[in-house]
């Protein structure tokens, strides 16, 4: 899992939170933007301005090109193109997993399974509780908070694999579009990925661990969005 330092882009919208319990019935409502026209700051580069799309210039469905854990309770999703105005976000449409994969071709042995990242903290399923929307980013807030060093611990597991063995444990994002899909400004919806794990997390008794069939283990995680660990926390007193 690569770690990158990126500046945090200015985000529009506002942060809202809801109390989340198993099977969150509510949505995270995002107020519409002000009708006041946006004025570019003096000296703002032309390349940073969002340009209107030309007719026939549709790049296809939007994609999440990057996801990163910014803090113990925040993820940031980066999209391939501008997403349309969102009136609400359904927290049940997203879920994070810890995916553990072990492939040993020489021994003819492999396994893969998901488990809920929240259990790395206080033994509670992780739930998304708020959202903040920008033009190309979507911030998701979750509880319980999970310290960032857990992400780095997972990333280090692969360092101990013997030659020829794939041993990987990492964070992944899953998305299953529901009644409030995320769309680009042309109305094309973000396609779902990893829907089985999202569905398994809904309900009063969410599934917290799922074994993947051994034959499917080599492909585990290929259709998901891997979550990058956030910036390293500097040493010193907290």
Question: Per residue in 151-199, pLDDT tens?
Answer: 888 888 777 888 899 999 999 999 999 998 999 989 999 999 999 999 9
Q: 54-58, 127-131, 221-225: which has the minimum mean pLDDT?
A: 54-58
Token pair for 89? 């976000």
Looking at residue 110, its pLDDT comes to: 93
**What number is the average pLDDT over the span 89-98?**
90
Question: What pLDDT is recorded for position 28?
Answer: 56
Instruction: Of 202, 208, 195, 225, give the one whose Cα is nearest residue 20.
Output: 202
> For 35-64, what is each residue's pLDDT tens digit?
444 444 455 444 444 455 554 566 789 999
Handedness of CA 73, 205, 64, 2 (dihedral sign): positive
Closest CA to 208 of 131, 97, 106, 104: 97
Confidence (pLDDT) at 228 = 94
More confident residue, 25 or 87: 87
Strand 94-104 to strand 28-29: parallel, antiparallel, or no bridges (unpaired)? unpaired
Sign of the Cα torsion 199, 205, 209, 210 reads negative
Can you give the pLDDT at residue 3?
41
| Model pTM score | 0.74
* Residue-range domains of the chain with CATH: 61-96+115-152+168-211+221-228 (2.60.40.1220)
Whole-number pLDDT of residue 75: 96
């Amino acid at each position: 899992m690569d770690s990158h330092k990126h500046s945090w882009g200015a985000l529009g919208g506002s942060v809202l939170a809801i109390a989340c319990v198993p099977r969150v019935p509510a949505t995270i409502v995002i107020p519409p933007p002000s009708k006041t026209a946006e004025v570019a700051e003096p000296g703002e580069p032309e390349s940073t301005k969002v340009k209107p799309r030309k007719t026939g210039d549709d790049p296809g469905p939007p994609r999440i090109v990057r996801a990163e854990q910014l803090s113990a309770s925040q993820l940031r999703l980066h999209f391939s193109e501008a997403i349309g105005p969102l009136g609400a976000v359904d927290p049940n449409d997203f879920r994070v997993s810890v995916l553990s994969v072990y492939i040993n071709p020489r021994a003819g042995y492999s396994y893969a399974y998901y488990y809920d990242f929240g259990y790395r903290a206080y033994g509670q399923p992780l739930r998304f509780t708020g959202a903040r929307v920008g033009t190309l980013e979507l911030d998701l807030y979750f509880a319980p908070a999970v310290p960032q060093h857990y992400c780095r611990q997972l990333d280090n597991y692969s360092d101990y694999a013997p030659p020829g063995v794939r041993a990987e444990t990492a964070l992944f994002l899953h998305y299953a579009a529901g009644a409030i899909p995320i769309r680009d400004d042309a109305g094309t919806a973000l396609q779902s990925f990893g829907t089985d794990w999202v569905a398994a997390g809904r309900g009063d008794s969410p599934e917290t661990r799922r074994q993947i069939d051994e034959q499917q283990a080599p492909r585990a995680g290929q259709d998901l969005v891997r979550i990058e660990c956030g910036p390293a926390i500097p040493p010193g007193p907290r």
